[in-house]
Amino acid sequence: MIASVEPTKLPGVAIIKPTTFADERGHFKELYNKSQFALAGIDVHFVQDNFSHSHRGVLRGLHFQVLKPQGKLVTCLQGTVLDVALDINPASSTYREWIGVELSDQNHHQLWIPPGYAHGFLVLSEFAAFHYKCTEFYDPSDEAGVHWADDSIGIDWPNKSPKLSSKDAQLPSLSDYWISQH
């Protein structure tokens, strides 16, 4: 069951707060229920689930697919992350705007990011177990990204020297990405 769906300043991006049942044994929550999400206005078809395990200070992102954009329902199953969605659509009224939401095993929040946004997260805890539910299959030939520290975007990451993959370290600024596409 969904306790609440909170819209953000980015069109379509929402914080999902599932109902969590806790007692002395631990807790239980429903991560996804198609009919509940449809009632909340998120009526999509998921085709792939992904999982990552990352250590403190790891930043993954900011990623997106170009021709086959993915919507993502993301959940931090263990630990804490700062999860970021970035509007990369030049025709959007919120182009270059971003939101950062703390997702953790303590607050139980999820983030719905519809297709057309870049996504990334920074691990704030010792490690994080992270689940992605995607609306499109991953296609490595279609992937792209934006550099995490693009000054024109100004994401306020709490770690100024995160651990990155070599691929993420070489991602272009958002402006350079669009210049390379034309």
The residue annotated as part of the active site, out of 109, 131, 132, 147, is 132
Instruction: List phi, psi (to 5°) of 140.
Output: -60, -25
Selected catalytic residue, list 63, 108, 109, 119: 63
112, 11 in Cβ contact below 8 A? no
- Would you call 108 a catalytic residue per the annotation? no
Other beta carbons within 10 Å of 80: 20
Angle at 58 between CA 57 and CA 63, to 5 degrees: 140
User: Is-catalytic flag, 63?
Assistant: yes
Cβ pair 63, 87 in contact under 8 A: no
Q: Which residues are catalytic?
A: 63, 132
